[in-house]
Amino acid sequence: MMSFELYLGFVAASILLVVFPGPNVTIIVANSLTHGVRSGLLTVAGTGAGIAVLLGVLIAGLAPVMAIVSQWFDWLRLMGAAYLAWLGISKLLASRRPAHEEAPRVPRGGGFWQGFIVLLGNPKVLLFLAALLPQFIDPAGNLLAQLVLLGVTFLIIELLGDAVYALAAGRAGAMFSKARKKWIDRISSVLLIGGGIWLSLVRR
């Protein structure tokens, strides 16, 4: 089994990764600002489910899947970027409605499926995990047990970090009046569009 020092090194690396947000945080913050903490946390659950799927792929040792992701990286990345941008544009158009109209509709699943799709639309996450996890594996130990331990640890850290973003953004959004929430909606739209642009510019 890996040493405790090696495990702590992985924990530190995972925390640093969470501190510097990616496209998944943009959808979490946007939904939290617009629809509240509950929607933000459901979005976190969606991104967490996406990460769990990717970790399952890695732990199962599905090399062919990795090869497919590598081959179609750019197409997957652009589709994920387009989805984020589409969400942002849709939200921006909705924010331009008169203030007396009903509030923006909460996305289906409360944001869960949006988080899930955005996470899986960023193939760099899978490639990054595939590069990160082996660095902390002790070849002399039980490889499967170590992969499961590191995978679960990373998932927990990611969920906790994303939940902090959701809670902070949700509470900030709740502090604003209905009129000011129009500007919050526009800010969240810009975040989503910016996240799409960021993802579109990502390189392996």
- Asked if residue 157 has pLDDT above 90, the reply is yes
What predicted TM-score, i.e. pTM, was given to this entire model?
0.74
Amino acid 164: pLDDT: 93
Cα 178 to the chain's mean position, in Å?
28
- pLDDT digits over 124-151, tens only? 777 777 777 777 777 777 878 888 898 8
Count of domains for the chain: 1
For residues 67 and 72, give the distance between their C-alpha atoms in angstroms, rounded to a whole number. Answer: 9
Residue-range definition of the domain harbouring residue 130: 4-11+25-201
For residue 20, being part of any structural domain is answered with no
In a domain, 18, yes or no: no
Biggest distance spanned by C-alpha atoms of the chain: 66
- Is residue 46 in some structural domain? yes
pLDDT recorded at residue 62? 57
**Is residue 190 scored above 70 in pLDDT?**
yes
Percent of the chain with pLDDT over 70: 71
**For residue 63, what are the CA distances in angstroms to 66, 141, 147, 179?**
5, 21, 15, 52
CA–CA distance, 78 with 119 (Å, rounded to integer): 13
Query: Is residue 19 in some structural domain?
Result: no
Whether 17 is in a domain gets the answer no
The answer to whether 156 and 2 have CB atoms below 8 angstroms apart is no
Rounded mean pLDDT of 75-80? Answer: 68
pLDDT at 162: 92
User: pLDDT value at position 43?
Assistant: 93
91-127 residue pLDDT tens: 677 666 555 455 556 666 778 988 898 888 877 777 7
Q: Is residue 81 in a domain?
A: yes
Residue 119 in any domain: the answer is yes
